[in-house]
Chains A and B, each alone.
Chain A
């Protein structure tokens, strides 16, 4: 490769900067407002130098980053980051260290609602709901390699199961004098089952389709679900949704909001732990290995005698199950649901959590979901730019670190070199 001269690089970046200033001029510098049928243009000249300088610096960095990405190729060792990770890995491998750090984490998580207020507890519940969702989607996208853009629909199925139970079965509970809080505990498994059924039902027509068609058709299903919920106002309450959904039963007591939040927080933790455990087991099971083979190469997988249809069904069903569970939890936490909570953007945010965290990696999905939900809560100033930043992050991750922030460790057979040489 020719040695790069810094001057040509700077020249290229200057050209890029000028081009970007021209390209972004109408949208960045001019701001349109229409009043009485006449468009009025307001100029924001102060943004122009920002665009120019930003484009100059970014294009320079971008070129270096791309080259680095290319050069790196398969050789992915070295670098401070991976070295610290290796050191941390050595320590974490010691079971004593690992157990104690897990215990410390668990203690912190349990103490959380008592240390911080109700607001933070509620934020954490939302984050946990997304952890369950991300783990569920991770089965579909990470293990099975099937891009599902309608995942929020299953989430909605779960939430609506609980909501509709409350709307239609609730009155008879009240009449019979049974605590309505029981509905939560009935709905939780029921929603899982119904969401699973939906998952199977919806996956039947898509079994024959390849990756990108699958993405689009799941997107279509998701949107149809939302539209049906929105337009069948007699049955589901339409756009106004269902409100005053009861909180879960707790030994027949009416809990004040703060205690109820703590209670739901603990339910969420238990559900998260169960999810992690089950997903972890699935990964190592026969089904999990078959799914992984399917993701790598469908044709070769079929040739090895793996039933693709069955596996795809299982993938969708498992993914949908967790979304249903998360939906009930969400309905119980907010006590209010409407179709706007289950839009395509919800599906895409969950997908982002999986992709940014690390496709196929359980810690990745957990980390991604918590990161994506907590950042906008604690950086209020940035929350306006939230989607923009997520979008950019997703593109950058896919280009430079496709395995995500916390990549999954693939199982591999290792042998000790020492034993061989001696």
Chain B
């Protein structure tokens, strides 16, 4: 039972990271029907920026709390800027072209960003110093959950709530929902579609950066390639929940996190990454629209 609970909690922590990323996928897909392959790379860049800036601030003798605050804040801003730039350069000129064009462009962006970081930084795995605080009151429960996992859970929950409120009640959120439903119609009623898409990319990238910093603190290491597998998994989570649906992305992420956790715990750790792919294949066979997704009719 203790083992089960441990696996459950680590699966929950993993799932909440996937959720942060899956939201970015699902939001972008909901609006422009593009699998943003570069999303995982944005997450990696978020982690790297936090490492670099955090290291710089720390070496200047800043207290740990401020290091954490500024490096996370700046890395979120940088990742958001990267997401914005990528959309503007690589996706916007392809709007209205066949959907596969944008997808191929996204694969290109993913390769470019990976190799950019590989060449400008390093190909090695770097240890990621954790600036996250350790809670002393959590000591007795250490066998089940550690402070990083708890922080991950808390941060994710807060962000989910904020995001839901933003999408439900603000003007921007309304514009986003309108654009997701019908881009041309939204344009006709005066929604600035370009701005909405930019905002979506900025928000998705910011979430990815938060996920990147959290998971790097959790795993304790980073390299230029981490974004790729994480990106694919988050995508699987988004598809599992029903792509385009925000609660679906969260649900799918938790299911994926638990499956991976229990799978590696009870079956085999050799195939950790394979569970996501198997789930993906199964879900696409049984219910391609995902758990909470609406069935889409194919239009001519």
A: residues with CB less than 8 A from B are: 23, 26-28, 30-34, 37-41, 62, 66, 69, 145, 147, 149, 205-206, 208-213, 215-217, 219-221, 223-224, 227-228, 231, 297-300, 348, 351, 355, 384-385, 387-388, 390-392, 394-395, 398-399, 402
User: Does chain A have a CB within 8 A of B15?
Assistant: no
- CB contacts under 8 Å to A, within B17-59, are 33-35, 45, 48-49, 51-56, 58-59
A39 engages B129 (CB within 8 Å) = yes
B288 engages A205 (CB within 8 Å) = no
A62 to B88: give the CA distance in the assembly, Å. Answer: 12
A350 to B281: give the CA distance in the assembly, Å. Answer: 23
Main secondary structure of the interface of A (DSSP, over half): helix
In the complex, which residues of chain B have a beta carbon less than 8 angstroms from the beta carbon of A213?
Answer: 239, 284, 288
Min CB distance, B204 to chain A, in Å?
A: 17
In the complex, which residues of chain A have a beta carbon less than 8 angstroms from the beta carbon of B271?
Answer: 227, 231
**Considering only CB atoms, which chain A residue lies closest to B299 in the complex?**
A299
**Considering only CB atoms, which chain A residue lies closest to B56 in the complex?**
A41
In the complex, which residues of chain B have a beta carbon less than 8 angstroms from the beta carbon of A212?
Answer: 33-35, 99-100, 103
User: Does chain A have a CB within 8 A of B82?
Assistant: yes
A299 to B97: give the CA distance in the assembly, Å. Answer: 19
Min CB distance, B190 to chain A, in Å?
A: 24
Whether A402 touches B120, Cβ cut-off 8 Å, given contacts A34-B55, A37-B127, A39-B55, is no
A211 to B110: give the CA distance in the assembly, Å. Answer: 19
- Of B48, B100, B126, most buried by chain A (CB within 10 Å of CB) is B100
A33 to B298: give the CA distance in the assembly, Å. Answer: 51
- Would you give 12 A-B contacts (Cβ < 8 Å), ordered by A? A26-B74, A28-B120, A39-B52, A39-B56, A39-B59, A209-B284, A212-B103, A220-B277, A220-B280, A220-B281, A221-B277, A223-B273
A311 to B284: give the CA distance in the assembly, Å. Answer: 20
B97 engages A402 (CB within 8 Å) = yes
A215 to B103: give the CA distance in the assembly, Å. Answer: 9
- CB contacts under 8 Å to A, within B75-134, are 78, 81-82, 85, 89-90, 93-94, 97, 99-101, 103-105, 107-112, 114-117, 119-122, 126-129
Min CB distance, B131 to chain A, in Å?
A: 11
In the complex, which residues of chain B have a beta carbon less than 8 angstroms from the beta carbon of A147?
Answer: 100, 103-104
Besides the known contacts A69-B93, A395-B112, 12 further A-B residue pairs in the complex with CB atoms under 8 A apart: A27-B48, A39-B52, A147-B104, A205-B281, A210-B298, A212-B34, A213-B288, A217-B280, A219-B232, A387-B114, A388-B112, A395-B109
B: residues with CB less than 8 A from A are: 33-35, 45, 48-49, 51-56, 58-59, 74, 78, 81-82, 85, 89-90, 93-94, 97, 99-101, 103-105, 107-112, 114-117, 119-122, 126-129, 232, 235-236, 239, 270-271, 273-274, 276-278, 280-281, 284-285, 288, 298, 300
When the two chains form the complex, which single residue of A32, A205, A221, A388 contacts B51, counting CB atoms closer than 8 Å?
A32
A41 to B51: give the CA distance in the assembly, Å. Answer: 10
A398 engages B59 (CB within 8 Å) = no
A206 to B285: give the CA distance in the assembly, Å. Answer: 8
B273 engages A398 (CB within 8 Å) = no
Whether A395 touches B105, Cβ cut-off 8 Å, given contacts A27-B45, A402-B97, is yes
A22 to B198: give the CA distance in the assembly, Å. Answer: 19
A32 engages B126 (CB within 8 Å) = yes
In the complex, which residues of chain A have a beta carbon less than 8 angstroms from the beta carbon of B105?
Answer: 394-395, 398-399
B78 engages A23 (CB within 8 Å) = yes
B121 engages A27 (CB within 8 Å) = yes
A216 engages B126 (CB within 8 Å) = no
- Of A26, A149, A205, A388, most buried by chain B (CB within 10 Å of CB) is A26
When the two chains form the complex, which single residue of A62, A216, A297, A392 contacts B108, counting CB atoms closer than 8 Å?
A392
When the two chains form the complex, which single residue of A30, A223, A387 contacts B115, counting CB atoms closer than 8 Å?
A387
- Of A30, A145, A206, most buried by chain B (CB within 10 Å of CB) is A30
Whether A348 touches B107, Cβ cut-off 8 Å, given contacts A37-B127, A209-B284, A211-B100, is yes
Whether A221 touches B55, Cβ cut-off 8 Å, given contacts A395-B105, A398-B105, is no
B108 engages A395 (CB within 8 Å) = yes
In the complex, which residues of chain B have a beta carbon less than 8 angstroms from the beta carbon of A34?
Answer: 51, 55, 126-129
- Of A209, A220, A227, A392, most buried by chain B (CB within 10 Å of CB) is A220
In the complex, which residues of chain B have a beta carbon less than 8 angstroms from the beta carbon of A300?
Answer: 300
B288 engages A26 (CB within 8 Å) = no
**Considering only CB atoms, which chain B residue lies closest to A202 in the complex?**
B281
B108 engages A391 (CB within 8 Å) = yes
In the complex, which residues of chain A have a beta carbon less than 8 angstroms from the beta carbon of B59?
Answer: 38-41
When the two chains form the complex, which single residue of B33, B35, B112 contacts A216, counting CB atoms closer than 8 Å?
B35
A69 to B94: give the CA distance in the assembly, Å. Answer: 11
A205 engages B284 (CB within 8 Å) = yes
In the complex, which residues of chain B have a beta carbon less than 8 angstroms from the beta carbon of A387?
Answer: 111, 114-115
A223 engages B109 (CB within 8 Å) = no
When the two chains form the complex, which single residue of B45, B104, B270 contacts A355, counting CB atoms closer than 8 Å?
B104
In the complex, which residues of chain A have a beta carbon less than 8 angstroms from the beta carbon of B115?
Answer: 385, 387-388, 391
In the complex, which residues of chain B have a beta carbon less than 8 angstroms from the beta carbon of A398?
Answer: 94, 101, 104-105, 108
**Considering only CB atoms, which chain A residue lies closest to B232 in the complex?**
A219
A215 engages B56 (CB within 8 Å) = no
In the complex, which residues of chain A have a beta carbon less than 8 angstroms from the beta carbon of B236?
Answer: 220
In the complex, which residues of chain B have a beta carbon less than 8 angstroms from the beta carbon of A38?
Answer: 55, 58-59, 129
In the complex, which residues of chain A have a beta carbon less than 8 angstroms from the beta carbon of B33?
Answer: 212
Min CB distance, A381 to chain B, in Å?
A: 13
**Considering only CB atoms, which chain A residue lies closest to B268 in the complex?**
A231
In the complex, which residues of chain A have a beta carbon less than 8 angstroms from the beta carbon of B51?
Answer: 32, 34, 39
A231 to B271: give the CA distance in the assembly, Å. Answer: 8
In the complex, which residues of chain B have a beta carbon less than 8 angstroms from the beta carbon of A32?
Answer: 48, 51-52, 55, 121-122, 126
B111 engages A348 (CB within 8 Å) = yes
A27 engages B288 (CB within 8 Å) = no
A27 engages B49 (CB within 8 Å) = yes
Min CB distance, B54 to chain A, in Å?
A: 7
Min CB distance, A266 to chain B, in Å?
A: 34
